[in-house]
Structure 1
Amino acid sequence: MNAYILTIGDEILIGQVTDTNATYMANALNDEGYEVIEHLSVADTRKGIRNGLDRALAVADVVLMTGGLGPTKDDITKKVLAEYVGTEMAFHEESWERLQKIYSSFGKEATKHHKVQCELPATATVLTNMRGTAPGMWLEYKGKIIVSMPGVPYEMRYLVSHEVIPRLVAGNGDSQRQRSLTILTAGEGESTIAEKIEPVEDALPGHMGLAYLPNLGTVRLRLTIRGTDEAVMQAEIKEHQGKIEAIIGHLVYGYGKEDLALAIQRRMQEQELTLVTAESCTGGSIASMITAHPGSSGHFKGSVVAYANSVKNNQLGVPAGMIHKYGAVSKFVVEAMATGARERLNADYAIATSGVAGPGGGTEDKPVGTIWVAVAGPNGVKSKLLRAGKDRKRNITYTVHQALNMLRTELDKAGS
């Protein structure tokens, strides 16, 4: 079946808010075998919403809408929906009672403005929003389904997972669904991986597909299958996953939405190992990525952002003569940074970076994008020269991924 995503809000159109709702809804629909035909953002106006619905219902069986359900006068989605499907607005007493209880639990009283949120299209099936005050609405119109939900992301996600998808699945019966597995790799580029696993890809059955999703220093491989039998689909995905990993298993660091920092956290905590970083050109970005995950204190001890040469010398013990002779951006200095951090912060492993992130600061010998990374551990220290571009942000992200993957590789070797 075809689906359409319609997001409502001037704040989206003017770039004030990034529309993450569409991504979530598309993933949820895709998992259940719906083909998302189009995603459209419209203004919170009668004309914008009506035009959006006209466009959506012309091509899709299901329309998921977000936005415009607040208590203020500029939120007109409910009234436009009622008008569009030819019904009246009606007060929903159960929603009002629930809303009053919510505010009472906070020692507050619901006002007449909140009461407006309980005025809904009379023919709508109310979807209880356990994460907020604005209910969702399920409308059936000319054999098609229109679902309207709040634009607040965590409220929308609750309604999609607990109300919308279960209803769609129940209505589909034995209709074909879609399942996928994302294999996460690092260490080789998209074209190299594609060449290596070409025989597996060419032999995929017609109801399966393989997509390459590259990022700076990483490539995600998404295996997708369509079918009606859940057990059969999962078995086929596992079979082809095995064939892929028989070829590039050494590049695989995880699955699904896991990133390199989380993959390292899992490995280090399983082996009861500790980590520190010594960062120059990345400015603490590696440490930030690591500590973004709950539980990172179980293996990560700390970081030294050694931007100045004096900090490299005084805090990490890099000899001043070494810096003077080879320069801060060099194999010798980055290895000394990693070794010094490991020893002085008393950790099992240390990552170090030093380079010219750009856009300025490059020389003829060391142009912008010249970056060294090193990993020090129980088996010594290893380093790698990166040749990146001229975009500072991209260079830092690329370096973070490369450095983390160096450590991941060392941990996999030690654990094998």
Structure 2
Amino acid sequence: MKAEIITIGDEILIGQVVDTNSAWMGEQLNLYGIEVYQITSVHDNHDHILQAFADAEKRVDLVLITGGLGPTKDDITKKALCDFFDCGMVVNEQVLQHVTDMLSRRNVAINQLNKDQALVPEKCTVLHNAYGTAPGMWFERGGTIFVSMPGVPFEMKGLMNDQVLPRLRDTGKAKSIYHQTVLVYGIPESMLAEKIEAWELALPPFIKLAYLPNQLMIRLRLSAYGSDPELLRKEVNRQIETLRTIIPNHIFGYNGDTMAGVTGKLLVQAGAMVAVAESCTGGAISQLFTENPGSSVYFKGAVVAYSNETKTALLGVNTKTLQAHGAVSREVALEMAEGVKKALNTEYAIATTGIAGPDGGTEEKPVGTVCIAVSGQHQVWVERYTFAHNRERNILRSSQTAINMLRQLILTENTETI
């Protein structure tokens, strides 16, 4: 089954409202094995809306429409639907009663505009909207299903979950689908593709692989389509186990995991806490840790030591080390890590010092040069990296790399217990 999503409203086209509805609907449809073929946004113009409906009818099996169902004159979707399906309006008594009851509970007097919410195209099947006054509407013609819903996100989501998705499932046209996403870090996308090429080529034809890179990771999404949900689940999980043997050091989590969240769980399992000394990352590592609920169990605190004076005063970095090697050096990163670890009395520590940019680079230490140290219970690791010229990307990549180094150090030191 192929679907098209049509959003109606000038507010979307001028950027006054961000279209989050389409992204959410696309995600839900995908879980039902329904392919979103196109997303279309149109302004509040009758002819434009009719043309969008006609074009969608030619290319897809399902058209989901949001917006233009309010009580004011600029909401013209119902009138357009009547013209498209060549029918008139009728009053739906159930909708009228629902609107009356809802407004009564709010101590709002019902007026004609409110009553007009109960007017629906006579050829539609009314879908009860428990969350608002505008009902959903379901049409079928020539093998294509049209569903019109309010543009208010929580009303649309309620209708989708309560009415639309169950009905789509009952049509028998929706497939079973199973998704798993493998989270990878520390290897370029091209090198990853080369390394797993044989595995990818050997995937069963009903499993599709997508590479989804961003600044923090590469997501490998496996999507299996078929009629037997349990078979799909078993085969995808079997393929992931095989993948783990190919890139064991680069897989850090699955689906909605984050590097900081995964590392935090490892700290909890090890009964340990971490402290952070940040220079070029300016608190970004601390934010990545503390945005996880319960992080106080493993995150002790941080020192943002941006100046050399702060590095010396709060972290005990030796002035001779700074003079001999400069603030951006392995030696200073190491002393920062050991200093914050001692100051906050933790088992593990992270330190970052670098040139985030866009200025400050030299031939020896160009913009993007970052030194990261992680100190553990038995080992200390220090690395120098050269990232990009973009400040924001450098901060994000430095932070993610630092946490990944800590994750790997914890695993190395606790292989028997974790």
Q: TM-score, normalised by structure 2?
A: 0.90
Q: Secondary structure at the match of 1:273?
A: coil
- Aligned partner of residue 12 in structure 1, secondary structure: helix
Instruction: Confirm whether residue 395 of structure 1 aligns to residue 397 of structure 2.
Output: no
> Please, which moves more after superposition, 95-104 or 29-38?
95-104
Counterpart in the other structure of 2:385:
386
Q: How does 1:183-222 map to 2 (within 5 A)?
A: 183-222=182-221
Report what 1:293 is aligned to: 292
Which moved further from structure 2: 65-74 or 193-202? 65-74
Q: Name 1:361's counterpart in structure 2.
A: 360
Runs of 4+ in structure 1 over 6 Å off: none
1:62 and 1:335, CA in 2 relative to 1: closer, same or farther beyond 3 A? Answer: same
The amino acid that maps onto 1:351 is I
Superposed CA RMSD in Å reads: 2.5
Shift of 1:132: 4.7
Contact 2:378 2:413 in 1 (8 A): no
Partner of 2:251: 252
What is the deviation of 1:168?
A: 0.8
1:212-361 matches, cutoff 5 A: 212-361=211-360
Give the distance between the partners of 2:339 and 2:53, measured in 1 at CA: 62
- Going from structure 1 to structure 2, the CA distance change for 1:292 and 1:114 (only over 3 Å counts) comes to farther
Give the distance between the partners of 2:159 and 2:358, measured in 1 at CA: 45
How far is 1:217 from its partner? 4.7
Residue type of the partner of 1:309?
N
SS at match of 2:249: helix
Q: Secondary structure at the match of 1:51?
A: helix
1:188–1:218 Cα contact (<8 Å) kept: no
Aligned 8 A contact 1:338 1:381 in 2: no
Cα 1:343–1:253 change in 2 (3 A) is: same
Task: Give, in angstroms, the shift of residue 109 of structure 1.
Answer: 5.5
CA separation of 1:182 and 1:119: change in aligned 2, threshold 3 A: same
Supply the distance in 2 between the matched residues of 1:353 and 1:131 (Cα, whole angstroms): 49
Cα displacement (A) at 1:133: 4.8
Secondary structure of residue in 1 paired with 2:81: helix
**Aligned-residue offset at 1:183:** 0.9
Tell me the distance in 2 between the aligned counterparts of 1:104 and 1:307.
Answer: 59
Matched residue of 2:404: which SS? helix
Q: From the superposition, tell whether residues 228 and 280 of structure 1 become closer, same or farther in structure 2 (CA, over 3 Å).
A: same
AA matched with 1:283 = G
Larger Rg: 2
The one-letter amino acid paired with 1:280 is S
CA offsets, 1:359-416, max 9 Å, x none? 1222222211111222222224322222111111222222222122112222333342
- Aligned to 2:87, the other structure's residue is in SS state coil
Determine what percentage of the aligned residue pairs are the same residue.
Answer: 43
Separation in 1, partners of 2:110, 2:334: 63
Structure-to-structure mapping, 1:30-109, within 5 angstroms? 30-99=30-99, 101-102=101-102
**One-letter code aligned to 2:66:** T
Instruction: Tell me, yes or no, if the aligned pair for 2:210 and 2:222 is still in contact at 8 Å.
Output: yes
Cα deviations by residue, 1:73-94 (Å, 9 ceiling, x for unpaired): 3232233223322233344443
2:374 maps to 375
Q: Distance in 1 between matches of 2:256 and 2:147?
A: 27
Aligned length: 415
1:71-116: CA deviation from partner (whole Å, max 9, x where unpaired): 4432322332233222333444434544555555566666655555
Residues 353, 373 of structure 1: 8 Å contact kept:
yes
Alignment of 1:161-176 (within 5 A): 161-172=161-172, 176=175
Q: Secondary structure at the match of 1:224?
A: strand
> Residue 27 of structure 2 corresponds to which residue in structure 1?
27
Per-residue deviation at 1:329?
Answer: 1.5
Distance in 2, Cα, partners of 1:257 & 1:12: 29
In terms of mean alpha carbon deviation, does 258-267 or 150-159 score higher? 150-159
Q: Deviations over 1:54-81 (max 9, x none)?
A: 2211100001122233344323223322
Separation in 2, partners of 1:116, 1:289: 49
- TM-score scaled by length of structure 1: 0.90
Within 1, Cα distance between the matches of 2:412 and 2:131?
45
Greater displacement, 397-406 / 342-351:
342-351
1:327-379 C-alpha deviation (Å, 9 max, x unpaired): 22211222222222222223332222221111122222221111122222222
- Residue identity in the other structure for 1:285: A
How far is the alpha carbon of 1:214 from its aligned partner?
1.7
Per-residue CA deviations over 1:297-352 (Å, capped at 9, x if unaligned) read 33223332222222222222223332233222211222222222222223332222
Amino acid paired to 2:57? L
